[in-house]
Amino acid sequence: MPKAYWVTMYRAVKDAEKVAAYAKLAGPALTSAGGRFIARGEPSTIYELGSKQRTVVIEFESVDQAVEAHDSPAYQEALAVLGDGAERDIRIVGGI
């Protein structure tokens, strides 16, 4: 079974304190659900229509595991803390 990758792009941060509070809960929630952070931060180089926005990539053993991590009570608690603190684009992509 191929691995899966959770990719988050931060389009806008509206409240840095909410994002920091979210991160304190989200990191442990996702790692305890089997996620492994493999990239986090602003891009070093941008091509085509890309924009310089914070990007997070988390590896999971499967798409199902990534979806379960997102839907878990611990991660949902982190999302509640984030609230409207950021505009993000989250995708779960199966590996090849």
Q: Which two tokens stand for residue 62?
A: 């499967």
Question: How many Cβ atoms from other residues are within 10 Å of residue 6's Cβ?
Answer: 23
What domains are there in the chain, each with its CATH number? Answer: 4-94 (3.30.70.100)
Q: What is the pLDDT along the chain (96 residues), one digit of tens a residue?
A: 799 999 999 999 999 999 999 999 999 999 999 999 999 999 999 999 988 999 999 999 999 999 999 999 999 999 999 999 999 999 999 999
pTM over 0.95: no
Predicted confidence at residue 82, as pLDDT, reads 98
Residue 9 is which amino acid?
M
8 Å CB contact between 32 and 80: no
- Please report the beta strands in 20-80, taking only residues with DSSP state E, as ranges in sequence order: 36-41, 55-60
> DSSP secondary-structure letter at 82?
H
Q: Residue 55: what residue type?
A: T
88: its two tokens: 């993000």
Euclidean distance between CA atoms 68 and 72, whole angstroms: 6
Query: First-to-last CA distance in the chain?
Result: 9
